[in-house]
Amino acid sequence: MPTPEDLARKFLAVVDSSTEVTVGADAEVAGRSAYSLTLAPRTQGTLLEKVVIAVDGETGMPLRVTVMARGQAEPAFEAGFTSLSLAAPDDSVFTFVAPPGATVKELPVPPVPSMPRMPALPPSPGGITPGVVPDRGPDQPAAPPKQLPAPDKVPGSDASLRHPDAPRPTVTGKGWETVIGFPSAPGGQGAALTESLLKDPLLSQAAVVVPGGRLLSTALVNVLLTDDGRIFVGMVPAERLQAAAGAA
């Protein structure tokens, strides 16, 4: 689960001219005084009304992130602290006392395994890369870590299987009105794929029949599954998705 700081950084990282940033009313979160930083789209063509970040007035740490959808009284999503103490924990918290009759054996911390598609960890001040076990003697320099293959070269990855002539997703609109369209599966299988997805009882119940396909709606995101197997997604009203499907 991302922390309020993680979410705040993600929202602030994509702020551009399409977003109005203002300072709102003061608030109290987890017993701490905070001020509100409000991010609001400069357009009415999106389902998002605003994002409110409650920032600790003393430390500047985000304490709560609230995402509001248009026409909704309750937040569409919210994550924040309910209680928070910034005091240093007492040393006794880290004291371990073995139970009677137990044998204590100290073991070295195992290295962090390398994972595909993850950026390499930066070298530590001592020159040893975290997670890499050096194959060396006491007087030999650490061997450089092996390079991982590029994501599109990993066997079985989507990129390695994609045909160069395969249709790619389309993007229409910009900012908060962006609509992403995914093409139909090749060989006329798109419609069959859509029907197979709708065989799921919950998905079928949630999908509403609209001109040209089925619509899955939430407070923040709409998804249009067209009759010919295309998929259009966006934080926009259904009419925008239908317009994008008609123009594609």
The top-level CATH class assigned to 4-80 is mainly beta
**Structural contact between residues 231 and 207, judged by C-beta atoms closer than 8 angstroms:** no
Q: What is the pLDDT of residues 114-164, one digit of tens each?
A: 655 544 434 434 443 444 434 444 454 444 444 545 545 544 445 544 555
Provide the pLDDT for residue 212: 86
Provide the pLDDT for residue 186: 67
Non-local (6+) Cβ contacts of 18 within 8 A are: 41, 42, 43, 174, 175, 176
What is the value of pTM for the model shown?
0.65
Provide the pLDDT for residue 190: 55
Provide the pLDDT for residue 53: 97
Supply 53's token pair.
């970040």
DSSP one-letter string for 112-149: PPP-TTSPPPPPPTTSPPTT------TTSPPPPPPPPP
- Tokens 């599954």 belong to which residue? 225
Q: Which CATH number fits domain 170-247: 1.10.287, 3.30.310, 2.40.128, 2.60.40?
A: 3.30.310
For the chain, residues with pLDDT lower than 50 are: 118-138, 140-146, 148, 151, 154-157, 160-161
**Structural contact between residues 18 and 176, judged by C-beta atoms closer than 8 angstroms:** yes
Supply 70's token pair.
């248009």
- Tokens 């371990």 belong to which residue? 96
What is the b/e burial string over 223-242, where b = at least 16 CB atoms within 10 angstroms of the residue's CB?
bbbbeebbbbbbbbbbebbb
Q: Where are the domains of the chain?
A: 4-80, 170-247
